[in-house]
Amino acid sequence: MSKEDQIVVHLHQLSDVPLRMSGSLSGEVFGIKEADRLTMDSPINYNLTAQLISDDQLLVQGKASTEADCFCDRCGKPFVYELACDDICHYVEEVHQEDIDLTDEIREELVLALPAKFLCQDDCAGICPSCNKNLNDHACDCEAPASAPSVWDKLDEL
């Protein structure tokens, strides 16, 4: 990873006033390229504030955002997912070096903010199980599949 692809706090730049850092990183720091589901190679934009709490304690707060190219888990349509972390807070308890690299911590915050299921829209209708049409684009004339008997049906008879 090159120096341009790092978020580094230089302790000699810190004083009583918090240090404001902003910029962008290459999306390659993610290392995520799942061609069938997700690719993260858009730049990561960040706006952070770092301050020394004591002689050996550092607090970093701020925001980071990026975009992910992904496929909807219901309909399979490709779309761009906007990923933002507005409440980054990282605490370094014992600072023993002059430069603190925060790149992995910011990457981790963004990866943890990824949803378990990618949806192109909240009300995505998905694919018709009978004719395989995208129900977001076209309605189909297929009959709704009959529901399987429930294991609880016998209890309803009581």
- The pLDDT of residue 35: 64
- The pLDDT of residue 3: 53
154 in a domain, yes or no? no
- Cα–Cα separations (whole angstroms), residue 87 to 18, 75, 93: 17, 31, 19
10 in a domain, yes or no? yes
155 in a domain, yes or no? no
157 in a domain, yes or no? no
Mean pLDDT in order along the chain per 10 residues (158 residues): 69 79 83 74 90 82 92 92 90 78 87 91 91 88 77 83
114 in a domain, yes or no? yes
- Cα(146)–Cα(73) distance, rounded to whole angstroms? 23
- Cα(140)–Cα(158) distance, rounded to whole angstroms? 38
- The pLDDT of residue 2: 52
Residue 156 dihedral angles phi and psi, to the nearest 5°: -65, -25
- The pLDDT of residue 130: 84
Q: Say how many CA atoms lie within 13 Å of 45 toward its Cβ.
A: 8
